[in-house]
Amino acid sequence: MKNIAPSEQLKAIIEFRKTYKAPVDMMAPSRINDEKDDRIYRFQTLIGLMLSSQTKDEITLQAIKNLQNGIEGGLTPSTLSNSNVDTIDQLIKKVGFHKDKAERIIEAAKICHRDYDDDIPHTMKELTALKGVGIKMATLCMADAWHEQVGIGVDVHVHRISNMLKWVKTNQPDKTEIELQKVFPKELWEPLNQAIVGFGQTICSSKKPKCDLCPIL
């Protein structure tokens, strides 16, 4: 499929990933929480994304469970905003940069509690104003929490594989997002991140790729 259009290559990877699961699949909002309260659901999705940076998905998922079970009253903007930093740090101690993240998620909780009626921001501008939330994270949050696809979340896997497959020719993830939006129709933006991240985690790794299993070679 080397000479097939990028959209067809992406569709093949998406179809392949339906039966070839990856760690990223554990980080779907429905796996993070089963809250019926939409505001708490969105908040826990945001916290999960904030903890996920430079951290394996399995560890992020466990950290969220630790917060859900370890904070009296559960994981909400109100309860987290009133929590002790050292206590939160212990609950998330296996995630990367846990000390900084403990402070940042408490700060985010205070803002959500004070300024958004225990909900989360509903725009990219407001989300990226939260310390520790960048463009990629905000894009994923808009999609996962608000079900609004405003862009394409680009992490190291998406950036690397998009360039390797010559979908784009970029040197920075932010530029990759812009170029990918030109390459793919909007209906493919939503599944692209999870499909390619999982593909990079399981098949197209940077160190030991399993090319014999690749659906587009």
Question: Active-site positions?
Answer: 136
Per-residue CA distances from 126 to 43, 134, 138 (Å):
14, 11, 9
| Contact yes or no for 145/116 (Cβ under 8 A) | no
Tokens of 103: 């402070």
The angle, 0 to 180 degrees and rounded to 10, between the axes of the packed helices 38-52 and 135-144 is 150
CA–CA distance, 138 with 151 (Å, rounded to integer): 10
> Which residue's entry shows tokens 């987290």?
80
User: What is the CA 208 to chain-centroid distance, rounded?
Assistant: 24
Per-residue CA distances from 200 to 16, 21, 114, 151, 195 (Å):
13, 11, 39, 20, 9
Per-residue CA distances from 84 to 23, 198, 216 (Å):
30, 35, 50
Per-residue CA distances from 32 to 26, 77, 109, 123 (Å):
8, 16, 17, 22
